[in-house]
Amino acid sequence: MQKTLLEKFYKYIHIDTQSDPESKSYPSTKKQFDLAQVLAQELKDLGLEDAHVDEHCYVMATLPANTNQDIPPIGFLAHMDTAPDMAGKNIKPNIVEEYNGEDILLNPEKDMYLKVSDFPELKNYLGQTLITTDGTTLLGADDKAGIAEIMTAVEYLAKNPQIKHGPIKIAFTPDEEIGKGVDHFDVKKFGARYAYTLDGGQLGELEFENFNAAFAMVSVQGRNVHPGMAKSKMINSMLVASEFNDLLPVFDRPEYTENYEGFFHLIKFDGTVEASTLQYIIRDHDLQKFESRKKLIEEVTSFINKKYGEGTISLEVKDQYYNMRQKVESVYHIVEIAGQAMRELGIEPNIKPIRGGTDGARLSYMGLPCPNLFTGGHNFHGKYEFIPLESMEKATKVILKIIELYT
């Protein structure tokens, strides 16, 4: 199984699928179709006759039931795009066999290391096979590890028809990294009653909670006057924007929060004396606190406008997604089954909130309850990304065990 996983993972990460948050098209980059077509063909080759890619770059397929038992259709999903944060093409992965617990040299030309002092979790993988970057790109384990794990599980079932199972629904989505992964996803067409995304991190992660999320655009209108004649006339929009940011709670920023603590995160600041813009993401697991955060940013806007004049600041707040816990709790057995699958394989489930979102969060609100399972990866979206091959194998076995338990 490890050989199959490694071959598939290598194949997928070498196909550039980086999404583009500035794009107005869907999917945001046409190159995501390159991987979609490869996956659809592989599924067809395994005998999944309905495998196809639609006009929105969704790959869907069904492994039909091979038993007369009344088993609900179960889905497994992963996303094809990689994050815009760092280069996702010309990936040159390193393989470290029988990891010895020491710092890993990623790139001798740049004298770049994956250091145990920075990433002490490396010590958890002594003797295992680690796949790392070469220090110049991300690896793409988010989420091509998830794709490889799902595809390996499907191949295993297709080649071992003596293993009885119900209908297995497979989907791969584009643009998850820019929050648009299921904008056009047809839940009814997909046909699963319950599903799992393979988009988590290290071994054992099992998640059914995520942030409530909103995006805020703050536009500041200043007044530009020649600085030699500016007294009592100039309003420097950049300074007003800085004042706006200073009125938000300092310790409610990502760098000071963890677990269930929410935040305001300034993600972009553009400005001149005449006009400036601030872009924020607002996050909280608790819906009431989430609403309070949105109210606070409105109150800060009102205060600034009273101080400098109405229209100095305009605010646009848009909800992005919500905490899937509200939709999963009523069918909590799907979380329990995943936890049981892990325990039967000797993996201790690490149930924790996602400090972010997944396609599964939005799918849960579209009528498809969808917890998230680990892929095994670490340090996503950057040059220090790595994944143990053994964790990928265990993720694949968790998929197979979940299917067995439903059967």
- Residue 36: pLDDT over 90: yes
Q: What angle do CA 102, 107, 100 make, to 5 degrees?
A: 15
pLDDT tens readout for residues 46-66: 999 899 999 999 999 999 999
- The strand pairing partners of 104, in sequence order, are 114
Residue 109 scores a pLDDT above 90: no
Structural domains in the chain plus CATH codes: 2-209+323-406 (3.40.630.10), 212-321 (3.30.70.360)
Range in 108-117, 270-279, 366-375 with the lowest mean pLDDT: 108-117
The pLDDT assigned to 334 comes to: 97
* Per-residue pLDDT at 207 exceeds 90: yes
- What pLDDT score does 220 carry? 97
Catalytic residue status for 134: no
Strand 130-132 and strand 94-96: the pairing is: antiparallel
Residue of 142, 143, 149, 176 with catalytic role = 176
Alpha helix stretches (DSSP H) within 111-233: 141-159, 187-190
> How confident is residue 223, by pLDDT bands cut at 50, 70 and 90?
very high
pLDDT score of 286 more than 90: yes
Question: Tens of pLDDT along 356-389?
Answer: 888 899 999 999 999 999 999 999 988 999 999 9
Per-residue confidence at 27, pLDDT binned at 50, 70, 90? very high
pLDDT beyond 90 at 179: no
Q: Tell me the average pLDDT across 11-21.
A: 95
Query: Quick one: pLDDT at residue 347?
Result: 97
Structure tokens, 256: 């000071």
Model confidence at 67, pLDDT cuts 50, 70, 90, reads very high
- Among residues 42, 81, 134, 175, the one annotated as catalytic is 81
| pTM across the whole model | 0.88
Q: Which amino acid is at 69?
A: Q
Is 186 catalytic? The answer is no
Q: Within 10 Å of residue 266's Cβ, how many Cβ atoms?
A: 17
pLDDT, position 197: 96
CA neighbor of 56 nearest in space, from 78, 83, 82, 36? 36
Q: Alpha-carbon distance 199 to 176, whole Å?
A: 10
